[in-house]
Amino acid sequence: MRLENKVALITGAGSGIGRQAALLFAREGAAIAVADLVPQGGEETVRLVQAEGGRALFVQVDVARVADCERMVRGAEEAFGKLDVLFNNAGISHIDDGDAVSTEEGVWDLTMQVNLKGVFLGCKYGIPALRRAGGGSIINTASFVALLGAATPQLAYTASKGGVLALTRELAVVHAREKIRVNALCPGPLRTELLMKYLDTEEKRQRRLVHIPMGRFGEAIEIARAALFLASDESSYLTGATFSVDGGITAAYVTPE
């Protein structure tokens, strides 16, 4: 198994990419610390992992809070003895996020606190744990919009994900000699609640699909599979990378008919 005897902490693991990653990592042998703000989702993920014979615990976490991030890392180490993989996956996309003129300061601040500060705090407390384990892998969820910019304005989200890419690159360089790898996942448009709440009509969905060369939305499990590669020793020479899993959207200059 690709993660045998490893311990993984996944934020935002109560749904979407995080839940699929928790299930997949557990199937590959990892013990899972499921971190989420919403107890119902996090506890359900734990039940699903355990139903398949895996090991998991739930930690309720607001990733924008220092004490919560310190507690989630400590909880993973206390429960499973160490930490090998940190998947900073939690994130939000605010319905009132628009352009610079229309976006309220509170929306900007909240988005930055969760999407960027949350990754910083995960690394702040996760890196010492990885050092104690002799090294490991950090995976930070960014987005294809950090590379392209979004045609439909979502300035705070786009800027926060760009920050995740910059943070990832610097941490990768700083910690490379400590056997700590740091990489960023850039998912393309996915069939998840986060995006579908905006693309709530067939017309809106088709308008987005025309820009994706593969002609379909991605699925959360497809991103989880990429995260598994980054978590495993198969990616042992990979750090500081921007790993795009996007159906070709960042490669496309003209859209197919």
The total number of structural domains in the chain stands at 1
Is 147 domain-assigned? yes
Is 137 domain-assigned? yes
- End-to-end Cα, the chain, rounded Å: 42
| Bridge partners, residue 165, by sequence | none
The closest alpha carbon to 92, from 201, 217, 186, 195, belongs to 195
- Give the number of other CB atoms < 10 A from CB of residue 109: 13
Is 47 domain-assigned? yes
pLDDT in tens, 143-155: 999 998 777 789 9
Read off the pLDDT of each residue in 43-57 and give the average, rounded to a whole number.
98
DSSP track, 35-99: EES-HHHHHHHHHHHHHTT--EEEEE--TT-HHHHHHHHHHHHHHHS---EEEE------TT---
Is 146 domain-assigned? yes
Note down the domain range covering 152. Answer: 7-189+219-239
pLDDT in tens, 85-123: 999 999 999 999 999 999 999 999 999 999 999 999 999
Distance (Å) of CA 72 to CA 13, 68, 77, 186: 13, 6, 9, 24
Is 39 domain-assigned? yes
Is 206 domain-assigned? no
Which domain CATH number covers 60?
A: 3.40.50.720
Whether the predicted pLDDT of 192 surpasses 90: no
Task: Burial-class residue 43 by CB neighbours within 10 Å (0-12, 13-18, 19+).
Answer: middle
pTM (two decimals) = 0.94
d(CA 46, CA 58): 6
254: CB partners within 8 A, 6+ apart: none
Which residues belong to the active site?
Answer: 157
Read off the pLDDT of each residue in 173-182 and give the average, rounded to a whole number.
98
d(CA 82, CA 78): 8
More confident of the two residues 115 and 255: 115
DSSP track, 163-182: HHHHHHHHHHHHHGGGTEEE
